[in-house]
């Protein structure tokens, strides 16, 4: 891979250090997969040079939903209602289209109570980096099964799940999501590249991250344990991400990898690990996901990518400026308009 990031500078393109992107101290259990994800959100945001004031951190309720407090202290956070962060993201995106929205949810928050909202968030292609921290279990209520728990997985005290799981990635692809990825909290390098690519994506990016719950679902019979996830992590490609402002400085050897460009000029490159994998082929992606599931593997990487898919701002083509701060002169019709309407009603 020739697109390795340049040696990490002490400051990013805004002159900020990584420390400028941290949040409050985590209150999750020591060793929680979510904290490893938080570390990569911080790293990716710093490396991308995101402007803190232009970022929102949105969440619902649950362990995962607490994590926006643990990164990007310079950004606006909104820890809202269980399963409803999708609506919060939609309202935020409509009010101010210049913001970069990062949403952290969990498998309970997204795949059960919030399923309806997630589905419609994807359908409307609301610009948001949607990180689904997936551990197959409700942590904050002390260890009940979630809807992503695999058949045959057990709870700490022995209950066996017999109901088939919902797979967030195949669901998102089916719904037409333009950026669908899976990763593992124990694979920081891959997660980092996925997060950066998702931050460059202009629509809804769904990232299912296997994130073991060390307290309630990390035992040997759990399919979402750290050991099981590590043993069955099957990356479909090595990912490279080159941000638009670096494209000309980094040489990408043609033919070496597949490349997909984002509207801003950033490029993500895919280098096959074993079999060639085309992340722009929706049917092949679905097939690969189902095949890996049969082999009880977690297929990881950017599984499907369509950076050009129209977003909610195409369906709702408001002016370029944030609606939130439009002055009265631009949002209030004049007295003559009211007079005209009154005449028409006489």
Nearer to another protein, 159 or 339 (CB): 339
* Contact flags string 207-246 toward another protein, x per CB under 8 A: ----------------------------------------
Place of tokens 């009603």: 345
* Interaction mask 112-141, another protein, x per CB under 8 A: ----xx-xx---x-----------------
CB nearer to another protein: pick between 199 and 229? 199
> For another protein, which residue of 74, 154, 221, 280 counts as binding (CB under 8 A)?
74
Q: Does 177 bind another protein (CB under 8 A)?
A: no
- Please select the residue that binds another protein; options are 38, 92, 125, 266, rule is CB under 8 A: 92
Asked if 284 interacts with another protein (CB under 8 A), we say no
Q: Report the C-alpha gap between 124 and 203 in whole angstroms.
A: 9
Q: Is 268 exposed, middle or buried (0-12, 13-18, 19+ CB in 10 A)?
A: buried
Q: What's the token pair of residue 336?
A: 């003559």
CA–CA separation, 284 and 171 (whole Å) = 14
Alpha-carbon radius of gyration of the chain:
21
Q: Which is nearer to another protein, 156 or 313 (CB)?
A: 313
Distance linking the first and last C-alpha atoms of the chain: 73
Query: Could you tell me if residue 255 is left (phi over 0), alpha (psi between -120 and 50 degrees) or otherwise beta?
Result: left
* Positive or negative: CA dihedral 158, 159, 164, 168: negative
- Tell which residue, 127, 120, 52, 117, has the closest CA to residue 94: 127
User: Can residue 75 be called a binding residue for another protein (CB under 8 A)?
Assistant: yes
Size of the site for another protein (CB under 8 A): 61
Report CA-CA distances (Å) from 144 to 59, 138, 215, 216: 20, 5, 12, 9
Q: Determine if 79 is a binding residue for another protein (CB under 8 A).
A: yes
- Our finding on whether 338 is near another protein (CB under 8 A) is yes
Cβ of residue 98: shortest distance to another protein, in angstroms?
A: 6
Phi, psi of 113 (to 5 degrees): -60, -30
Joined together, the tokens standing for residue 48 give: 């991308």
Question: Least Å distance between CB 334 and another protein?
Answer: 8
Question: Is residue 14 a contact residue for another protein (CB under 8 A)?
Answer: no
Indicate whether 49 belongs to the interface with another protein (CB under 8 A): no
* Residue 310 binds another protein, judged by CB under 8 A: no
What are the phi and psi torsion angles at 138 (to 5°)? -85, 110
Among 69, 169, 195, 303, binds another protein (CB under 8 A): 69
Structure tokens at 125: 């292609």
Residues in contact with another protein by CB under 8 A are 52-54, 56-58, 61, 68-69, 73-81, 84, 86-92, 94-96, 98-99, 116-117, 119-120, 124, 312, 316-320, 322-326, 328, 330-335, 337-339, 341-342, 345-346
């Amino acid at each position: 891979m020739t697109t390795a990031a340049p040696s990490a500078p002490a400051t990013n393109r805004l002159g900020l250090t990584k420390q400028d992107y941290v949040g409050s101290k985590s209150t999750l259990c020591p060793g929680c997969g979510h904290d490893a994800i938080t570390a990569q959100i911080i790293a990716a945001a710093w490396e991308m040079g995101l402007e803190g004031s232009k970022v929102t951190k949105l969440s619902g309720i649950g362990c995962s939903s607490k994590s926006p407090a643990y990164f990007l202290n310079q950004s606006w956070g909104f820890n809202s209602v269980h399963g409803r962060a999708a609506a919060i993201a939609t309202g935020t995106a409509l009010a101010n289209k210049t913001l970069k929205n990062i949403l952290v949810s969990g498998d309970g928050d997204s795949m059960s109570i919030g399923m309806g909202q997630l589905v419609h968030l994807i359908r409307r292609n609301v610009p948001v980096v949607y990180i689904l921290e997936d551990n197959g279990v409700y942590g904050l209520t002390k260890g009940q099964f979630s809807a992503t728990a695999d058949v045959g997985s057990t709870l700490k005290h022995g209950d066996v799940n017999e109901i088939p799981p919902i797979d967030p990635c195949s669901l998102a692809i089916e719904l037409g999501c333009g950026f669908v990825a899976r990763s593992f909290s124990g694979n920081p390098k891959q997660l980092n590249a996925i997060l950066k690519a998702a931050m460059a994506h202009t629509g809804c990016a769904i990232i299912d991250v296997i994130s073991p719950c060390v307290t309630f679902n990390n035992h040997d019979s759990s399919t979402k344990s750290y050991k099981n996830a590590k043993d069955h992590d099957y990356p479909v490609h090595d990912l490279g991400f080159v941000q638009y402002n670096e494209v000309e400085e980094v040489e990408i050897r043609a033919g070496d990898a597949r490349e997909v460009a984002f509207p801003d000029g950033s490029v993500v490159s895919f280098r096959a690990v074993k079999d060639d994998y085309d992340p722009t082929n929706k049917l092949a992606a679905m097939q690969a996901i189902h095949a890996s599931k049969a082999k009880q593997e977690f297929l990881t990487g950017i599984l499907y990518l369509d950076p050009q898919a129209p977003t909610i701002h195409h369906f709702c083509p408001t002016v370029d400026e944030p609606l939130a701060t439009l002055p009265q002169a631009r949002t209030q019709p004049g007295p003559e308009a009211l007079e005209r309407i009154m005449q028409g009603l006489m």
